[in-house]
Amino acid sequence: MKALKLTLLGVLFSSTLFAQSENIINVHNRSVTSLNGEWKFLIDPYENGFYNYRLNAFDEMGNPPRSAYFTDSKQYDKTELLEYDWDTSPTIKVPGDWNHQDPRLQYYEGSIWYRKKFTYSKTYDRSRIFIHFGAVNYRADVYFNGVKLGRHIGGFTPFQYEVTDLIKEENSLVLMVNNNRKPEAVPTVNTDWWNFGGITRDVLVVETPETFIKDYLIQLDPNDPNSIRGYIQIDGEIPSQKVSISIPEAKLNIDFVTDSDGFGTFTIPTKKIEKWTPENPKLYDVVISTQQNKVIDEIGFRTVQTKGADILLNGEPVFLRGISIHEEVPYRVGRAASEEDAELLLGWAKELGCNFVRLAHYPHNEHMIRKANEMGIMLWEEVPVYWTIHWENPETYANAAAQLEAMIQRDKNSAATIIWSLANETPVSEPRNEFLHKFSKLARSLDKSRLLSAAMEVHTEPGKPLEFIVEDKLAEYVDIVSFNEYIGWYNGLPDKTLQSSWKVPYDKPVFISEFGAGAKAGFHADSLTRFSEEYQADLYTKTLQMVENIPNLRGFSPWILTDFRSPRRQLSGIQDGWNRKGLIGDQGEKKQAYFILQEYYQNKSKN
């Protein structure tokens, strides 16, 4: 019931006109046709393709005028007045933000239309067809062969629509994408990252049998490491199906029948299953099959919990040697959405000596999650409940909840994912505490098997500027007490780290989710010159000494692996629209601090 309610929430929130179907899990391993590549686009700051000159929205559901861009009309003869023609419009790459693909769009915030024309022929007559979007930032109105499928809000989570009854030989898929920042949105209007707009992740046509395996949870029972448990959700005309789950390499299998809602749970006793760990990221082929459908997934099996101040992976204490990452790669500007991008970023993290990565500040693309499972990198995943969102607005909560649900629904089988984070640096208030308390309960109702955290803030008491305190109601709602601290950058100079003392009054694991300093790669000076590599290196050296004094510390994810784009960073000749706290510069240059952290992690991993 809960899942259904939350799905309704998701549908309600995205105010779709056509049933936005709950996402098909493990979508890349289904029978898919990629729509990635060149799409047509139209820049539409006045939303002229959506409203007439009296600002009346074109009738999306009935009989829209041919001037509406989503009708994809062609002049029927030379006399017809049409002020657009998709076939002669310019092209843009999908996936990819528009900001870095056209100099006119670097700072553009508004609406841009996309159109993809494609032919399709079903493999089987009775197949069902879905259009699946990895993510579109920030709001998407989706039309298929002139029919409005729906509107999706939220820039970093997948969504899809069923188009079985609309697909033809020749098809026109049209989106109006809008990335205007809004106070009530999630995130709100102020962030420290670039507002990359557009279809920023894969677009897939998914073909399934008429009745198919839509969703499943398959994981080691958190309360019994000698059994694998979970559920299967079938979708289609014959919901009650015999389902077989097998893990051939472990010689495990089980058959059961789903109920009239297509739902069934299972438990498989496992005498010996190789646990997933960063040192040995064992993934098993799991085969789920029914009469009409077979799905193969690669799943790792592990348990994660806390015990007092310890984080236990498969029952053993673990120290999280982390680094934070935005979804951007150096060498080019823009969203990083490919498997190669994931390999590059996670490869650097591995080389740094990391066993953990904080995927900041929003759900990253699925390639990152899958690659981390393969490479043995534990993950912190989060939704963009960031800074000053509107805590008292029910729509804001519904938006955040829909994003949390979509992230957990997509990644619930990811062994690498050990932490869901609820918020980042949110100013303490009663409405914020209520929002996050309710949000924490939602997260636990969606997934009891992972740990909750949030990036809290540090404060000091009057007259004691060197005693740093982490004390926040939010710490009671989560399993790991995490905080961002910038002593030596936003608060004094690096020496201040060595004068500091810490008070974190919780019998829980403590984690530093951010520390760091800016440095322009290649800029060298003394260690007190801001933005020199020497300053950043000195901050890291001193912070890595300071952390030894923090009670219950079980890891950290310094800010940040690579420089990233931010309109807040205006220092000409040094920042130029880049946040320079990366250990790696925007052309892939490793700064001095990279090697300081690398040496620390190499020593840490030995003991």
Q: How many residues bind ligand GCU (CB under 6 A)?
A: 9
505: Cβ–Cβ under 8 A, 6 or more apart, which residues? 471
Q: Closest Cα partner for 29 from 212, 241, 232? A: 212
Per-position x/- string for 126-155, each x denoting binding to ligand GCU as judged by CB under 6 A, each - no binding? ------------------------------
Per-position x/- string for 505-544, each x denoting binding to ligand GCU as judged by CB under 6 A, each - no binding? ---------x------------------------------
State which residue, 293 or 557, has the beta carbon closest to ligand GCU. Answer: 557
Per-position x/- string for 265-284, each x denoting binding to ligand GCU as judged by CB under 6 A, each - no binding? --------------------
CA dist., res. 268 & res. 255, Å (int): 10
Residues 222-251 that bind ligand GCU (CB under 6 A): none
CA dist., res. 86 & res. 79, Å (int): 18
State which residue, 41 or 540, has the beta carbon closest to ligand GCU. Answer: 540
Among 241, 424, 482, 497, binds ligand GCU (CB under 6 A): 424
Residues 433-492 that bind ligand GCU (CB under 6 A): 484
160 binds ligand GCU (CB under 6 A): no
CB of 566 to ligand GCU, least distance (A): 7
User: Hey, CA dihedral for 113, 116, 122, 125, is it positive or negative?
Assistant: positive
CB of 134 to ligand GCU, least distance (A): 23
Residues 273-332 that bind ligand GCU (CB under 6 A): none
State which residue, 581 or 591, has the beta carbon closest to ligand GCU. Answer: 581
CB of 462 to ligand GCU, least distance (A): 23
State which residue, 14 or 579, has the beta carbon closest to ligand GCU. Answer: 579
Residues 553-572 that bind ligand GCU (CB under 6 A): 559
- Confirm if 222 and 301 have CB atoms less than 8 A apart: no
581 binds ligand GCU (CB under 6 A): yes
State which residue, 128 or 581, has the beta carbon closest to ligand GCU. Answer: 581
State which residue, 484 or 562, has the beta carbon closest to ligand GCU. Answer: 484
For the chain, the distance separating the N- and C-terminal CA atoms, rounded to the nearest angstrom, is: 47
Q: Closest Cα partner for 205 from 168, 242, 236, 178? A: 168
Q: Which residue is nearest to ligand GCU (CB)?
A: 192
State which residue, 129 or 423, has the beta carbon closest to ligand GCU. Answer: 423
User: Hey, CA dihedral for 274, 275, 281, 282, is it positive or negative?
Assistant: positive
Residue 484's H or E segment, with its range, is: strand 481-484
CB of 273 to ligand GCU, least distance (A): 38
CB of 304 to ligand GCU, least distance (A): 24
- Beta-carbon-side half-sphere exposure of residue 226 (alpha carbons within 13 Å): 1
CB-count exposure of residue 463 (10 Å: 0-12, 13-18, 19+): exposed
- Confirm if 519 and 536 have CB atoms less than 8 A apart: yes
CB-count exposure of residue 404 (10 Å: 0-12, 13-18, 19+): buried
CA dist., res. 511 & res. 235, Å (int): 41
- Beta-carbon-side half-sphere exposure of residue 219 (alpha carbons within 13 Å): 21
425 binds ligand GCU (CB under 6 A): yes
CA dist., res. 464 & res. 454, Å (int): 25
Residue with tokens 């498989």: 268
CB of 13 to ligand GCU, least distance (A): 25
CB of 189 to ligand GCU, least distance (A): 15
Residues 186-205 that bind ligand GCU (CB under 6 A): 192
User: Hey, CA dihedral for 471, 472, 475, 477, is it positive or negative?
Assistant: positive
State which residue, 281 or 384, has the beta carbon closest to ligand GCU. Answer: 384
State which residue, 241 or 513, has the beta carbon closest to ligand GCU. Answer: 513
- Beta-carbon-side half-sphere exposure of residue 239 (alpha carbons within 13 Å): 10
Instruction: Report the residue count for the chain.
Output: 607
State which residue, 361 or 364, has the beta carbon closest to ligand GCU. Answer: 361
Token pair for 184: 């009530």
State which residue, 173 or 458, has the beta carbon closest to ligand GCU. Answer: 458
CB of 330 to ligand GCU, least distance (A): 16
CB of 317 to ligand GCU, least distance (A): 27
- Where do contacts with ligand GCU occur on this chain (CB under 6 A)? 192, 361, 424-425, 484, 514, 559, 579, 581
